[in-house]
C-alpha cells in the first residue's frame, strides 16, 4: 500500500503569529515552482495555539497546499481547565493534525502514557489526526532497550482503539537524544524503530492496519539528512522542529526527492 509521505513542522514556542505568517508565505512561494509535486508529499505546519487562527486564515484564504496542525490538545472535553485548548476548539479552527505525547510534554509537563492515550482518543473523537510521539532517552538507547521502550509507549497510546482509527493516525519516532541537539539517528537506527513500531501495530491490531499507519522520524532533521532517512522503507515522513522555522530549510526538506540520499 502506498502511504503518502508527511512532512510536519513543529514550530514549538518559537514564532509569533506575524513571523508565522511570513514563514507560511515564504514557504508557499518556495514550493510553488513547477518541479515540486504538491500531491506527492503532504506538508503540515504546527504553530503555537496563538497563531493557529492567523495561519488558518492564510491557508484557507489563499488556498495553500498546507495542512494546519496543533502542538498539543487537552485530554478533557470542555469545562474548567484554565489554559487548556480542547479538541473541539481545534477542530472548529480547521486543524487537521495534533501532536500528542511530544517528549517535551512528557518531560516538562509530566505527561505519562495514560495522558497520551486520553489525548489521542479525544483528538480522534473530534476528527483530528493525532501524531503520537514516542522516543527513548539517551540512557535507554545506551542500554540497547530502545525498541521495547518505544513499542510499549505506542501500545499504551493505542490501547482500545479501533483498527480504522489506528490506520488513519500518525506515529512519530523521536529519540529524545536527537531532538534539538544536532545528533540524529542514523537512517538504519530510524528504520529499526519505525519497522518495530509498525510490527507492534500489526500485533496489536492487524497487518492491514500496520501497512496503513504512517510512521515519521523526528530529531534534528535537516536538508542534508532528510533524503537518506526518507529512503528507509518504514519511514513515511518527518516531524521537524528547529529546521521548520526557516522557510528555506523546511522547503528543502519537503523537496527531499530532489536531492540525493
Ligand atoms: C521536534 O521537536 O519534534 C524535533 C524533532 O525537533 P528538532 O528537529 O529541532 O530536533
Q: Is 10 in the pocket of ligand 1 (CB under 6 A)?
A: yes
Q: Is 244 in the pocket of ligand 1 (CB under 6 A)?
A: no
Beta bridge partners of 46: 10
pLDDT of residue 126 exceeding 70: yes
Q: Which residues contact 167 (CB under 8 A, 6 or more apart)?
A: 208, 209, 212, 213
The ligand 1 atom nearest the CA atom of 184:
10
**The three grid cell numbers given for residue 185, joined into one nine-digit string:** 539517528
> What's the per-residue H, E or C state across 90-120?
HHHCCCCEEEECCHHHHHHCCCCHHHHHHHH
Name the residue of 8, 11, 12 to mutate for ligand 1: max ligand atoms within 8 A of Cβ: 12
pLDDT of residue 131 exceeding 80: yes
What would the pLDDT profile of 62-80 be if each residue is shown by its tens digit? 999 999 999 999 999 999 9
Half-sphere exposure of 148 (CA within 13 A, CB side): 4
Q: Is 179 in the pocket of ligand 1 (CB under 6 A)?
A: yes
Catalytic residue among 102, 104, 111, 146: 102
What would the pLDDT profile of 162-191 be if each residue is shown by its tens digit? 999 999 999 999 999 999 888 878 999 999
Phi, psi values for residue 94, rounded to 5°: 80, 20
Separation in Å, CA 230 to CA 51, 154, 220? 29, 21, 14
- Percent of the chain having pLDDT more than 70? 98
Residues 185 and 174: their CA atoms lie apart, in Å, by: 9
Mean pLDDT across the chain: 95
**Which class for 219: exposed (0-12), middle (13-18), buried (19 or more C-beta within 10 A)?**
buried
Amino acid at each position: 500500500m502506498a502511504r503518502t509521505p508527511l512532512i510536519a513542522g513543529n514550530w514549538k514556542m518559537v514564532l509569533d503569529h506575524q513571523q508565522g505568517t511570513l514563514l507560511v508565505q515564504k514557504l508557499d512561494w518556495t514550493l510553488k515552482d513547477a518541479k515540486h509535486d504538491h500531491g506527492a508529499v503532504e506538508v503540515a505546519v504546527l504553530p503555537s495555539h496563538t497563531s493557529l487562527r492567523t495561519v488558518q486564515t492564510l491557508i484557507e484564504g489563499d488556498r495553500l497546499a498546507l495542512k494546519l496542525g496543533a502542538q498539543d490538545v487537552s485530554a478533557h472535553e470542555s469545562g474548567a481547565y484554565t489554559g487548556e485548548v480542547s479538541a473541539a476548539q481545534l477542530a472548529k479552527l480547521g486543524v487537521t493534525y495534533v501532536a500528542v505525547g511530544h517528549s517535551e510534554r512528557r518531560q516538562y509537563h509530566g505527561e505519562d502514557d495514560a495522558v497520551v492515550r486520553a489525548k489521542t482518543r479525544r483528538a480522534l473523537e473530534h476528527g483530528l489526526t493525532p501524531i503520537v510521539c514516542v522516543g527513548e532517552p539517551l540512557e535507554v538507547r545506551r542500554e540497547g532497550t530502545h525498541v521495547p521502550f518505544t513499542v510499549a509507549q505506542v501500545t499504551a497510546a493505542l490501547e482500545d482503539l479501533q483498527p480504522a482509527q489506528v490506520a488513519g493516525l500518525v506515529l512519530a519516532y523521536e529519540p529524545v537524544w536527537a531532538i534539538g541537539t544536532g545528533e540524529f539517528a542514523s537512517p538504519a537506527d530510524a528504520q529499526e524503530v519505525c519497522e518495530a513500531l509498525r510490527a507492534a501495530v500489526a500485533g496489536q491490531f492487524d497487518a492491514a492496519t500496520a501497512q496503513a499507519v504512517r510512521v515519521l522520524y523526528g530529531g534534528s532533521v535537516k536538508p542534508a539528512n532528510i533524503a537518506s532517512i526518507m529512503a528507509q522503507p518504514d519511514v513515511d515522513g518527518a516531524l521537524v522542529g528547529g529546521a521548520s522555522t526557516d522557510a528555506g530549510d523546511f522547503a528543502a526538506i519537503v523537496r527531499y526527492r530532489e536531492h540525493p540520499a
